[in-house]
Every structure is written in structure tokens, then in C-alpha cells.
């Protein structure tokens, strides 16, 4: 996700790690964000105001009562202005204030006024970090929705080599970016309704009442996965071994166990009802056959312990999974990593194996980072770089969603989706009547409710893939004129639709159009009715037309010609409206915004070529880009080339206008990070397709 245009408030409290904050501010600014810094008085013992103001380009906020040329309620202003508040470093003192609602300085007062995502990065002496008061304060903040980043392990200012360091600026940057990505589209929860079992942490196999066999797993990776799943709407069933850590988000179904057998017993109880399982726990392979009831005494000689195999949780899930269930396992290897991991995946019938190796610095146990490779059942592998475990968890959950067929429609479309008809709509409908100064405004409230129910309740197709799996869109009707005697109304209709990008926490705009020729008659409590064979009013005709257009374009973006049925229904609406006197439907009105002329371009002899452009841009371009940017941009360039060729052979292709209006900003962002050759190709094509926006496209060449 680009941070271009994002507003970030960085809160700095009085810890030695404050000296790193100028580098963090610079990373945000270089990514296109605007940053404002709020400091406690003690923070300025470690970093100077001039440095922070220079790198951010904004004045520092540290004194609530300093009013020279400044508003005195900056804590409220910043809370409304910002997209996220990041507190780094977060000392034990500021964490205590935040947890208990104490507001006695600029930063703590801002926090209480803040109503958007908050991220804290604790940094302090290890004993302070592990003190029960600090642990409880972090728990309280996490329960309230604050994103608590784990402290890093390493040398501390006090001389200890322990946990308590603030992560490096690059990691804080990535974590904040990920959180902004997750919250950018809060309604998008592709795993809603799915039940996923997660195992986490080590197990402990007792030898006697005081000794046991275990390993170095902290449980961090599993807890990050549980958090990532919940952020995508899944219902998480977590079973964990002994750990000092915990998930950031409260888990409704969480069983804490000690031994492998206890973890296996929970698996047997939960697995039949699950949609997927992520087996990240480091389960002991063996246990002691005969556990002593009393502490074993040291004898001075050799002692032999007889070990017997523990139950294999991953193997059980793989052997007993149904067609709807997906299984993800982990493999920690020290040699022949790829071969061993793939053999494990086949032997245990896993859909995905997540491989990490102790050969990679910063990977494995007792770290906040990991470097993994995903191995899939089709024989392919996807290697990653060193990144935070939060980021690994986010990527894994995206891959799991693909494995589960979420959205189910996506997978069906990849294998012959043209036979499908569509999903239904999840449409926000708003009627804006501020231009109307008299009359009964209740009419518009009634119309808004009726239209919202009509759009979301109408079965536009014969297929609804699953609960909650609907196409996100919005229609905003701005009333321009209203005759309260006759009920005749003139309005503008703004129509927008989005589509999730495959394997990415991002949505792309499919349609963004303003229809200025909407005339209709409506009186309070008039019925909103429509069928494919009968249209009672121009109002229902326009809304039905755009509903079918949204669904058709959505399906075409996943498979060639998959939207044929829905776009054919939109064409049918146009045909039935030819006899109407209202504007916008006439075949002779060949302007770019005429509904007849728009749909004619999709349904004429060039039908296949136009729809393949949509498919090429999304599936072979934008979707692919999030796994392979070079190939993805190449796919987008091919789509633009095909669109340019169509436009050159047909005079005034309205589809081109609709496409460019929806995609222009996205294309600038996409190619601003490309190679010089890709930039030049993109600018040449875009200027040829959309010369009115040549100045905007020139930003691609000047981006750094």
C-alpha cells in the first residue's frame, strides 16, 4: 500500500530510543505521508525539536498551552486530522497513562481524544517491560483495540542483552503501513463466517514434577496469525502451549494446554467444525513414557529416559480433512530445507507448508522477524524476504484465503467462470437533498431507505455465492430540482464500485461515473419495483441498469466474458427504455455518458476484445503485481495497449472513458515505482488514451 496522502501522528516519549525517530519520520515522508510529531517533555532530552521539525516539515507539538500562532486545541485537531497515531518509543510511563486515562501532557491528552488506529511500540529496561504493571497495561490497551508491537531482543541502554528494545525504524514503518492497509477498507472481511483453528507456542512434556522437555518457541508467530485471521473476519479457535506472550486481539475460543496430548485432544474436539487449520505450534515429537511422581534425584551416573512418540496433529488434520477444509503446516529445517519441507507437505497431506530455516539470521525462534517460503500442493514455491512476523502472518492469511476459495467466486471463475451469473450487491445508497430549500424532506429519507433496500434486496441474478460475499459499491443521488406538486425530480447519480485485488489487502475501483441525466417521479411511499420484463419508472430503470453494469464489470475482471449475462440484462433495460421521454437512453444521443452508448460498446461486435481488456488489466496485471510487480506491470501495459488499439479503430470508445476515470490515479501510483523503460511506455500509452490528464501522468516520470 502507498502511504501517499496519509496523515500520521508520531508520538515520542522519553526513552533513549527516541534518537531513532528522525529516521522513522523520514521513511514516512519519503513514502508520501504527512507527519506531525507530538513529544513529551522528557523525549526532548534525547532528540532535538529542530531535528524533528526539519525532517517532518511541521512544527513540533509538545506544550499544550503554547499558543503563539497556534490553536490551543491541537490534541483535538490532530485527532481529527490523522489516519493513525504511532507512539514510538512508548515508555512504561506513557503506557500507564494511556491505560488508565491520565491526560497531563500533550501526548497523553491527544491519545484520549484519538478515535482512529493507535499503534504503540514499547521500549524500556527488561525488568520494567516484564513488570506485572506494564504487562497488565499492555493487555488493557490491546483489549481496547490498540495495536501493541512486541519489543525486540538485543542490547539495552542499561547494559543488559534482553528484550525491551524498540524495533528498527524500517520495521515500525512496515507495521504501520500494514495496519493502515487493514483499516483502509474495514468492511472488507473476506474470511467472515469461516472457522479457523490455530495452534501456537511450544509444548512441555514432563519428566517429573519439576522438569520437562520443551523447545525455544515463544508462540509469537501463532499469535500473529490469530490476529491476522481475526482482522480478516475469521472466527479463530486458538490452542496454545505455555507462553509469556498473547495475541493483541481478544480470542473468544482459546484453550491453553501444556502437553502435546492435551493439544491433540482439543484438535479432536474442534477439527470437524473447522474450515481450516494453521498448525504453527512447535509440538514435541516425543514424551517420556513413565513420568515420575516425585522429583528424580541426581545419582551421579547416567540416566536413561524412554521416549515414546506424541500424536502428530498436522498428520491427523491432513488425513481427516474434508474437501472444504484447508491445512497449513510449518517446517523448521536446518539442512536440505526445500526437499525436506516438500516431503513433509506430501506426507502429511498439507495444502501449504511454511518453511523457515535456522540458517537465515533473524528467522526461527525468539525473534520478532522471520524469513519464510510458502510451498503449495501444486508443486510451486514462493520465497520471501526477512520481514516482521506480523507481515508474515498477513501474507499467510491471504494465501490461506486463496486456498479456501475466498471469495468462492474467484476460484470458480478461474476454471470456467463464464457460465456463472454473478454475486449480489452490498450497496451504500445515499440521497443528498441539500439543494432543495423547501418541501417535505421526509420524501427523500423515505426514497433513500427504499432504494437501499431495493438495491441490496433485489435478486439481480440467480446466484449468491455465500453469506456476506457481496460486491462493495455505492450510489449517491444528488437532487438538483424537485417539483413537490407533481413529484418530478432531476438528480445526479454518482456510481462507484470496487473489487478486491487477489492476494492483497487492497481494493481497485471498477466504476466511477456521474450520470447527470436522471429524471423521475417519486412521491412518499411509492413502491420501488422492477423486473426484467417490466419497468415501472425511470428511477428503477436507472438503478437497475447500474446494478447490472457493476456486476457485469466485476465478473469480467475475474474471467473473460464472465459478465456477459449481467451486461446483457443491462442492455435489455436500455432496450425497454427506448420509448421513454427521459434523457439518457436514446440511441441517437451518442455522447460518452449516454447509457445506451455506454452499454452498446460492451455488447457490439467488439464484445470479446473489450472484455478481455478488463480481464487482462485485473487478473494478468493488477492481481499478479502483488506477487510479481514486474510481470504485473507488464500485464497492465498489455491491457492498455489493447485498449489503445480498440480506441484507434473505433471513434470515441465510451468504455475507454469509464476505464480511465476509474483507473487514472491507480495507474500513476502503480508506475511511479517502475523502471525507467516501464514508465516511458506507460506515459506514452496513457497520454494517447487520456490526453486531458497528461499533466497527471507526467508525475510518473518525476516520481522518486
Q: Which residues are catalytic?
A: 158
Q: Can you tell me the distance from the alpha carbon of 278 to that of 330, in angstroms, rounded to the nearest whole number?
A: 8
Closest CA to 241 of 259, 253, 223, 220: 259
Q: Can you tell me the distance from the alpha carbon of 381 to that of 371, in angstroms, rounded to the nearest whole number?
A: 14
**Cα dihedral: 665, 671, 673, 674 (round 10):** 180
Backbone angles phi, psi at 202, to 5 degrees: -90, 175
Helix axes 220-231, 389-404, angle to 10 degrees: 50
Q: Can you tell me the distance from the alpha carbon of 516 to that of 277, in angstroms, rounded to the nearest whole number?
A: 51
Task: Record the cell numbers describing residue 471, joined without a space.
Answer: 460486491
Q: Which residues of 21-53 are buried (b: 16+ CB within 10 A; e: fewer)?
A: bbebbbbbbebebbbbbbbbebbbebbeeeebe
Q: Is 538 exposed, middle or buried (0-12, 13-18, 19+ CB in 10 A)?
A: buried
Q: Can you tell me the distance from the alpha carbon of 534 to that of 272, in angstroms, rounded to the nearest whole number?
A: 48
Q: Is 557 exposed, middle or buried (0-12, 13-18, 19+ CB in 10 A)?
A: buried
Closest CA to 543 of 470, 481, 493: 493
The residues near 144 (Cβ < 8 Å, ≥ 6 apart) are none
**How is 418-433 classified by DSSP, letter by letter?**
GG-----EEEEEEEE-
161: how many CB neighbours lie within 10 A of its CB?
10
Q: Can you tell me the distance from the alpha carbon of 357 to that of 662, in angstroms, rounded to the nearest whole number?
A: 44
The residue whose grid cell reads 488434520 is: 317
Amino acid at each position: 500500500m502507498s502511504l501517499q496522502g496519509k496523515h500520521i501522528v508520531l508520538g515520542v516519549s522519553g526513552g533513549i530510543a527516541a534518537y531513532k525517530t528522525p529516521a522513522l519520520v523520514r521513511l514516512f515522508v519519503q513514502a508520501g505521508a504527512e507527519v506531525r510529531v507530538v513529544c513529551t517533555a522528557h523525549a526532548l532530552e534525547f532528540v532535538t525539536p529542530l531535528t524533528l521539525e526539519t525532517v517532518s516539515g511541521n512544527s513540533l507539538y509538545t506544550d499544550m498551552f503554547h499558543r503563539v500562532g497556534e490553536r490551543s486545541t491541537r490534541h483535538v485537531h490532530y485527532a481529527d486530522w490523522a489516519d493513525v497515531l504511532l507512539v514510538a518509543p512508548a515508555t512504561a510511563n506513557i503506557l500507564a497513562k494511556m491505560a488508565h486515562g491520565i491526560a497531563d501532557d500533550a501526548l497523553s491528552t491527544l491519545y484520549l481524544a484519538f478515535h482512529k488506529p493507535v499503534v504503540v511500540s514499547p521500549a524500556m529496561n527488561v525488568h520494567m517491560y516484564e513488570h506485572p504493571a506494564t504487562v497488565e497495561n499492555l493487555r488493557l490497551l490491546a483489549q481496547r483495540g490498540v495495536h501493541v508491537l512486541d519489543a525486540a531482543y538485543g542490547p539495552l541502554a542499561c547494559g543488559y542483552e534482553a528484550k525491551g528494545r524498540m524495533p528498527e525504524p524500517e520495521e515500525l514503518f512496515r507495521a504501520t503501513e500494514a495496519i493502515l492497509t487493514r483499516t483502509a477498507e474495514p468492511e472488507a472481511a473476506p474470511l467472515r463466517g469461516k472457522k479457523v483453528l490455530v495452534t501456537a507456542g511450544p509444548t512441555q512434556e514432563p519428566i517429573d514434577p519439576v522438569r520437562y522437555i520443551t523447545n525455544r518457541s515463544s508462540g509469537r508467530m501463532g499469535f500473529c496469525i490469530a490476529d491476522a485471521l481475526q482482522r480478516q473476519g475469521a472466527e479463530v479457535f486458538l490452542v496454545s502451549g505455555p507462553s509469556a506472550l498473547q495475541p493483541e486481539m481478544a480470542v473468544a475460543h482459546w484453550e491453553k494446554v501444556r502437553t502435546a496430548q492435551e493439544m491433540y485432544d482439543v484438535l479432536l474436539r474442534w477439527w470437524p467444525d473447522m474450515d481450516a487449520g494453521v498448525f504453527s505450534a512447535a509440538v514435541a515429537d516425543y514424551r517420556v513414557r513413565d513420568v515420575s511422581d516425585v522429583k528424580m534425584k541426581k545419582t551421579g551416573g547416567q540416566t536413561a529416559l524412554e521416549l515414546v512418540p506424541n500424536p502428530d496433529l498436522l498428520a491427523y488434520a491432513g488425513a481427516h480433512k474434508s474437501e472444504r477444509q484447508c491445512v497449513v503446516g510449518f517446517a523448521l529445517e536446518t539442512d536440505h530445507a526445500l526437499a525436506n519441507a516438500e516431503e513433509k507437505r506430501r506426507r502429511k497431506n498439507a495444502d501449504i507448508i511454511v518453511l523457515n530455516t535456522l540458517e537465515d539470521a533473524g528467522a526461527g525462534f525468539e525473534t520478532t522477524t522471520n524469513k519464510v517460503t510458502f510451498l503449495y500442493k501444486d508443486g510451486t514455491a514462493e520465497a520471501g524476504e526477512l520481514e516482521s512476523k506480523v507481515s508474515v502472518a498477513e501474507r499467510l492469511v491471504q494465501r490461506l484465503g486463496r486456498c479456501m476459495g475466498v471469495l468462492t467466486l474467484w476460484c470458480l471463475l478461474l476454471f470456467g467462470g463464464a457460465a456463472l451469473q454473478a454475486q449480489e450487491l452490498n450497496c451504500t445508497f445515499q440521497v443528498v437533498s441539500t439543494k432543495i430549500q423547501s418541501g417535505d424532506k421526509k420524501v427523500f429519507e423515505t426514497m433513500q431507505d427504499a432504494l437501499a433496500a431495493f438495491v441490496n434486496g433485489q435478486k439481480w441474478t440467480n446466484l449468491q455465492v455465500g453469506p456476506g460475499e457481496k460486491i462493495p459499491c455505492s450510489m449517491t443521488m444528488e437532487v438538483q430540482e424537485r417539483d413537490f406538486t407533481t413529484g418530478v425530480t432531476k438528480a445526479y447519480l454518482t456510481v462507484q464500485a470496487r473489487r478486491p485485488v487477489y492476494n492483497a489487502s487492497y481494493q481497485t475501483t471498477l466504476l466511477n461515473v456521474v450520470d447527470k441525466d436522471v429524471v423521475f417521479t417519486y412521491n412518499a411511499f411509492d413502491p420501488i419495483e422492477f423486473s426484467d420484463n417490466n419497468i415501472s419508472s425511470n428511477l428503477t430503470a436507472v438503478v437497475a441498469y447500474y446494478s447490472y453494469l457493476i456486476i457485469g464489470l466485476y465478473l469480467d475482471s475475474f474471467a473473460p466474458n464472465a459478465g456477459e449475462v449481467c451486461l446483457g440484462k443491462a442492455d435489455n433495460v436500455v432496450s425497454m427504455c427506448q420509448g421513454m421521454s427521459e434523457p439518457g437512453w436514446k440511441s441517437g444521443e451518442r455522447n460518452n455518458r449516454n447509457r445506451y452508448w455506454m452499454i452498446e460498446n460492451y455488447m457490439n461486435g467488439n464484445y470479446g476484445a473489450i472484455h478481455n481488456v478488463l480481464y487482462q488489466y485485473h487478473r494478468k496485471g493488477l492481481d499478479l503485481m502483488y506477487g510479481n510487480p514486474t510481470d504485473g506491470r507488464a500485464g497492465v501495459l498489455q491491457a492498455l495497449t489493447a485498449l489503445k488499439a480498440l480506441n484507434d479503430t473505433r471513434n470515441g470508445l465510451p468504455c475507454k472513458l469509464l476505464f480511465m476515470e476509474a483507473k487514472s490515479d491507480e495507474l500513476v501510483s502503480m508506475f511511479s515505482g517502475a523502471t525507467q523503460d516501464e514508465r516511458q511506455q506507460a506515459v506514452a500509452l496513457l497520454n494517447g488514451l487520456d490526453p486531458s490528464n497528461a499533466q497527471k501522468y507526467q508525475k510518473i516520470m518525476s516520481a522518486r
